[in-house]
């Protein structure tokens, strides 16, 4: 009578006891909150049904939570029918809200919306569940429509909208929403929490906005936030991505080693790697090993990236083998780093051998690293093959045609180089011009080569010309002979 999927500890709790809904509901609730075994909730629910017991109005919110944790559309759709048959939907607001949240977590926002629209009087929890669903499904337009229509908002509403913007790459919009929350939400008692600040720090990190990031750090201190591990990791990541390595390390060192996890170590190692501090990232990794924190695939990816920047071929191979020895599975990104470090060092045949030995199909990152190596060291034959593969994989990417054209150019095969660019034009693929951005006085300025659209273009070009003249004048200065040996 009991489903075989129940683990021994649950069977022991039920052994010899008369089954009832009040007995099973607390067990369903406990298992639904488990990060590893929420599926046991449904085993218990099957036991309840097979025992001819009637579920209560508390049963379904727990099951909805379990289905949300499992992100299982199949379970979500099956579960919906049960409270519907019992007449609990849409009248029981707690059951209805839990199922709206369930559909949202299962990436079924349209079904969440349909159920939401059936609720006679949706409360704030209902609105937040729908908003969060759209945000998590990257439907930012629908999320914003829900957000603007909400009769009231709490910190959950603002945090969901801000996090949705960050996940969709709208980092400036996320920061603008945070400022709006501070001005309009404060009057309603809305105050940022840890979840809000993690998203805001993530936006600062992606923008490389160190000034705003420091301001948010001060905000945390002034508002009396307890610097827990999640916030500390976000701060380390923000400072590292913004190039403030010393400040990233300061936050990291302030955390007791016993309270750290693999995520904060990865943030430090990855940050050092991005800025070319190869040996420092390896030293941090050694500290990590001594601390007892177990590295994961992301740890090794950061270390391999550091090896690329530092040109450490031997260390890259050692780390790659250590990754496998730890029982971890190398992903395509690990292979891309290994190919890149070998290619930059001129060991093209070895890099090509790694590509051929991969257990999965090489992606554009792997092939791109190999193509760059071929261009750098003049292996035209292989470069042509790889370049053509990249064009086939990404026919709408301008860089793939230009990469192939450049391979032909180094071999002085001008007609074929011209043909590669012509094919790009014929397919309607336009070259996206490179640009640079700089934040001055809190305002972002973007510049494209030879672009004169900026309002201060005349003054900017005048200053550039002046700098150019001064540099030429310095080049004309006679350098004493004793300096020449160091040039």
Tokens of 50: 């097979």
| One domain, residues 5 and 145 | yes
**Tokens 């025992």 appear where?**
51
Tell me whether strands 443-448 and 435-440 are parallel, antiparallel or unpaired.
Answer: antiparallel
Going 397 to 402 to 407 to 408, the CA torsion angle's sign is: positive
Q: What values do phi and psi take at 295, rounded to 5?
A: -70, 155
| One domain, residues 8 and 95 | yes
CA 334 to chain centroid, in Å, comes to 17
In a domain, 415, yes or no: no
Going 277 to 282 to 287 to 289, the CA torsion angle's sign is: positive
Q: At which of 122, 152, 182 does a domain end? A: 152
Residue segments in the chain with a per-residue pLDDT below the cut of 50: 1-4, 477-487
Q: At which of 104, 119, 152 does a domain end? A: 152
Q: What is the pLDDT of residues 98-145, one digit of tens each?
A: 999 999 888 898 999 999 999 999 999 999 999 998 998 899 999 999
Half-sphere exposure at residue 106, Cβ-oriented, CA atoms within 13 angstroms = 27
Q: What is the pLDDT of residues 393-447, one digit of tens each?
A: 999 888 888 998 999 998 889 998 999 888 888 888 877 777 777 766 666 677 7
The answer to whether the beta carbons of residues 161 and 144 sit under 8 Å apart is yes
The span from the CA of 323 to the CA of 304, in Å, is: 10
The span from the CA of 365 to the CA of 214, in Å, is: 33
DSSP 433-446: PPEEEEEETTEEEE
Total domains in the chain come to 2
Q: At which of 255, 289, 319 does a domain end? A: 255
List the domain range (segments joined by +) for residue 103: 1-14+23-152
Domain of 131, CATH number, reads: 1.25.40
| One domain, residues 5 and 128 | yes
Q: Reduced to 3 states, what is the DSSP secondary structure of residue 379?
A: coil
Label residue 98 exposed, middle or buried (CB < 10 Å: 0-12, 13-18, 19+): buried
| One domain, residues 212 and 127 | no
What is the number of residues in the chain?
487
pLDDT number for residue 314: 94
Q: Reduced to 3 states, what is the DSSP secondary structure of residue 418?
A: helix
In a domain, 276, yes or no: no
- Other beta carbons within 10 Å of 243: 13
> What contacts 207, CB < 8 A, 6 or more positions away?
171, 172, 175
The span from the CA of 297 to the CA of 328, in Å, is: 7
**CA neighbor of 80 nearest in space, from 69, 70, 67:** 67
| One domain, residues 139 and 8 | yes
The span from the CA of 150 to the CA of 345, in Å, is: 58
In a domain, 168, yes or no: yes
């Amino acid at each position: 009578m009991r489903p075989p999927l129940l683990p021994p500890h649950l069977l022991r709790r039920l052994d010899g006891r008369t089954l009832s809904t009040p007995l099973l509901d607390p067990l369903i609730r406990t298992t639904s909150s488990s990060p590893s075994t929420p599926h046991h909730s449904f085993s218990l629910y099957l036991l309840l049904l097979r025992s001819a017991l009637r579920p209560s109005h508390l049963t379904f919110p727990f099951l909805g939570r379990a289905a949300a944790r499992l992100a299982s559309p199949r379970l979500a759709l099956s579960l919906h029918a049960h409270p519907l048959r019992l007449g609990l939907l849409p009248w029981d607001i707690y059951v209805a809200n839990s199922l709206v949240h369930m559909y949202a977590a299962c990436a079924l926002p349209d079904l969440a919306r349909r159920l939401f629209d059936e609720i006679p009087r949706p409360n704030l929890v209902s609105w937040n569940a729908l908003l969060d669903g759209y945000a998590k499904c990257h439907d930012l337009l629908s999320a914003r429509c829900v957000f603007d229509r909400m009769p009231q908002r709490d910190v959950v509403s603002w945090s969901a909208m801000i996090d949705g913007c960050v996940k969709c790459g709208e980092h400036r919009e996320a920061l603008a929403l945070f400022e709006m929350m501070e001005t309009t939400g404060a009057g309603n008692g809305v105050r940022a929490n840890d979840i809000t600040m993690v998203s805001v720090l993530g936006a600062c990190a992606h923008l490389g906005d160190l000034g705003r990031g420091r301001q948010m750090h001060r905000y945390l201190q002034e508002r009396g936030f307890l610097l827990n591990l999640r916030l500390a990791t976000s701060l380390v990541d923000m400072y590292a991505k913004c190039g403030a390595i010393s400040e990233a390390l300061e936050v990291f060192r302030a955390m007791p080693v016993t309270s750290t996890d693999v995520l904060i170590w990865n943030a430090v190692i990855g940050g050092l790697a991005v800025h070319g501090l190869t040996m420092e990232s390896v030293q941090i990794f050694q500290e990590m090993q001594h601390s007892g924190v177990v590295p994961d695939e992301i740890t090794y990816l950061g270390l391999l990236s550091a090896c690329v920047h530092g040109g450490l071929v031997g260390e890259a191979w050692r780390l790659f083998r250590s990754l496998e020895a730890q029982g971890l599975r190398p992903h395509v990104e690990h292979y891309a780093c290994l190919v890149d470090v070998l290619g930059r060092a001129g060991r093209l045949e070895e890099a090509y051998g790694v590509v051929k030995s991969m257990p999965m199909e090489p992606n554009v990152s792997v092939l791109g690293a190999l193509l760059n190596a071929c261009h750098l060291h003049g292996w035209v034959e292989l470069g042509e093959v790889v370049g053509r593969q990249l064009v086939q994989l990404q026919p709408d990417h301008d860089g793939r045609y230009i990469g192939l054209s450049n391979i032909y150019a180094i071999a002085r095969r001008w007609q074929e180089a011209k043909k590669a660019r012509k094919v790009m034009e014929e397919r309607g693929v336009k070259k996206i011009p490179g640009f640079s951005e700089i934040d001055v006085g809190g305002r972002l300025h973007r510049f494209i080569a030879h672009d004169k659209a900026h309002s201060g273009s005349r003054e900017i070009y005048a200053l550039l010309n002046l700098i150019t003249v001064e540099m030429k004048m310095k080049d004309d200065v006679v350098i004493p002979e004793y300096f020449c040996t160091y040039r």
